[in-house]
Structure 1
Amino acid sequence: MVEENERRPMDIGLPTNICHVAHVTYDRFDGFLGLPSEFEPDVPKKAPSASATVFGVSTESMQLSYDSRGNCVPTILLLLQRRLYDQGGLQIEGIFRITGDNSEEEFIREELNNGVLPEGIDVHCLAGLIKAWFRELPRGVLDPLPSQQVMQCESEEDFVKVVRLLPQTEASLLNWAINLMADFVEFEDVNKMSSRNLALVFAPNMSKMADPLTALMYAVQVMNLLKNLTDKTLRERKIASSQVGPCDNSSEGEDGDVEEYNQEEMYTLEEEDEDDDLNKEDEIIKVEEESLLSDEHKPTSESNANDQTKQET
Structure 2
Amino acid sequence: MENLKNIWKPELYRIQMEAPTPKRVVCEDCLDRPEFYGKEYHGIMGHKEAAHLLENEPNGAFLIRKGNEINDFYTLTWRFNNRIHHYKLYYDGTHYIKDKQYDTIYDLVADGLITCHMELKAHHILEMINSRTNYTDSPYVTLNRRKLNTLSKMQQVSKPSSSSSIINKPENKLEPEPIKKAVELTPTLEDNPLVNKYSKAHGFKVHTFKGLNWCELCANFLWGFTAQGVKCEDCGFIAHSKCSERVPNHCVPDLKKLRGVFGIDLTTLLNAHSSTLPFVVRKCVNEIEARGMDSEGIYRVSGFADEIEALKLAFDRDGEAADLSAYSNINVIAGTLKLYLRLLPVPLITYEVHPKLVAAIQNKTTVLQVAMLRECLDLLPPAHFNCLQYMVQHLHRVSQYADVNKMSPHNLSTVFAPTLVATPAAITDLACEIRALQTLIECCPQIYYGNK
**TM-score, length-scaled by structure 1:** 0.57
Aligned to 1:93: 296
Structure 1 residue aligned with 2:316: 113
SS in 1 for 2:277: strand
Instruction: Give, as a single letter, the amino acid of the residue that structure 2 aligns with 1:75.
Output: F
> Which of 325, 342, 346 lines up with 1:135 in the alignment?
342
Which stretch has the larger CA shift, 89-98 or 119-128? 119-128
CA drift at 1:137: 0.8
How has the CA–CA distance of structure 1 residues 31 and 150 changed in structure 2, closer, same or farther, with 3 Å as cutoff? closer
- Give the aligned partner of residue 103 of structure 1: 306
- Superposed, which structure 2 residues align to 1:4-19 within 5 Å? none
Quote the offset at 1:145 in angstroms: 3.2
Q: Please state how far the C-alpha of 1:238 moved relative to its aligned partner.
A: 11
**Corresponding position of 1:225:** 436
Residue 174 of structure 1 is matched in structure 2 by 388
| Cα pair 2:370 2:447 within 8 Å, conserved | no
Give the match for residue 105 of structure 2: none
Alignment partner, residue 23 of structure 1: none
1:45 counterpart letter in structure 2: S
Give the C-alpha shift of residue 150 in structure 1.
2.4
The residue type paired with residue 228 of structure 1 is T
How far has the Cα of 1:31 moved from its partner?
A: 6.7
1:29 aligns with 2:4: yes
Q: 1:32 to 1:166 in 2, by over 3 A?
A: closer
Q: Distance in 2 between matches of 1:149 and 1:162?
A: 6
Q: How far does the alpha carbon of each residue in 1:19-44 deviate from its partner, in whole angstroms, 9 at most, with x for none?
A: xxxxxxx942257799x959864963
8 Å contact kept, 2:354–2:422: no
Aligned position for 2:425: 212
**Structure-to-structure mapping, 1:1-313, within 5 angstroms:** 27-30=2-5, 41=134, 44-46=137-139, 47=141, 48-49=143-144, 50=147, 52-59=259-266, 60-62=268-270, 63=273, 65=275, 72-86=276-290, 88-115=291-318, 116-121=322-327, 122-153=329-360, 154=362, 155-209=369-423, 211-214=424-427, 216-217=428-429, 219-233=430-444
C-alpha contact (below 8 Å) 2:265/2:345 kept by paired residues: yes
Q: Encode CA deviations 1:233-257: one digit per residue, 9 max, x unaligned.
A: 25689997xx9xxxxxxxxxxxxxx
How many residues are paired up? 205
Measured after TM superposition, the shift of residue 160 of structure 1 is: 2.3
Root mean square deviation, CA, Å: 3.2
User: What is the CA–CA distance in structure 2 between the aligned matches of 1:92 and 1:32, rounded to whole Å?
Assistant: 30
Question: Within 2, Cα distance between the matches of 1:42 and 1:64?
Answer: 33
Q: Deviations over 1:120-144 (max 9, x none)?
A: 3110010111111111112111115
In structure 2, how many angstroms separate the alpha carbons of the residues matched to 1:141 and 1:230? Answer: 15
By relative contact order (CA 8 Å, sep 6+), the higher-ranking structure is 1
**Corresponding residue SS for 1:82:** helix
1:258-305 Cα distance to aligned partner (Å, 9 max, x none): xxxxxxxxxxxxxxxxxxxxxxxxxxxxxxxxxxxxxxxxxxxxxxxx
Is the helix fraction higher in 1 or 2?
A: 1
In the TM superposition, residue 149 of structure 1 has moved relative to its aligned partner by 2.1
Q: Structure 1, residues 104-131: CA drift from partner, whole Å, max 9, x if none? A: 1111111111222243311001011111
Give the letter aligned to residue 111 of structure 1.
A
8 Å CA contact 1:93, 1:190 repeated in 2 = yes
Q: Percent identity?
A: 18
Cα 1:85/1:148, change in 2 over 3 Å:
closer
Kindly tell me: are residues 111 and 33 of structure 1, through their superposed partners in 2, closer, same or farther at Cα, counting changes over 3 Å?
A: closer
Choose between structure 1 and 2: higher strand proportion.
Answer: 2
Q: Call closer, same or farther: CA 1:43–1:187 in 2, change over 3 Å.
A: same
Structure-2 separation of matches of 1:61 and 1:144: 19
| Counterparts of 1:56 and 1:159, CA distance in 2 | 27
Which letter does structure 1 place at the counterpart of 2:411? Answer: N
Contact kept, 8 Å, 1:203 with 1:220, in 2: the verdict is no
Structure 1 pair 172/238, CA: closer, same or farther in 2 (3 Å)? closer
SS state at 1:212 partner = coil
- Looking at structure 2, the residues matched to 237 and 173 of structure 1 have their Cα atoms a distance apart, in angstroms, of 13
Equivalent residue letter for 1:74: P
Deviations 1:175-194 (A, max 9, x none): 01100101101111100000
Q: Check the 8 A contact 2:293/2:401 in 1, yes or no.
A: yes
Amino acid at match of 2:326: G
Counterpart residue type for residue 138 of structure 2: K
Q: Tell me how far apart the structure 2 counterparts of residues 112 and 131 of structure 1 sit (CA, whole Å).
A: 14
| Distance (whole Å) between structure 2 residues aligned to residue 180 and residue 93 of structure 1 | 16
Give structure 2 stretches of 5+ with no counterpart: 10-124, 148-257, 363-368
Whether the aligned pair in 1 keeps the contact of 2:389 and 2:448 (CA below 8 Å) is no
Q: Which residue matches 1:16?
A: none
CA deviations over 1:45-90 (Å, ceiling 9, x no partner): 352333642211123334365xxxxxx311221111122222x210
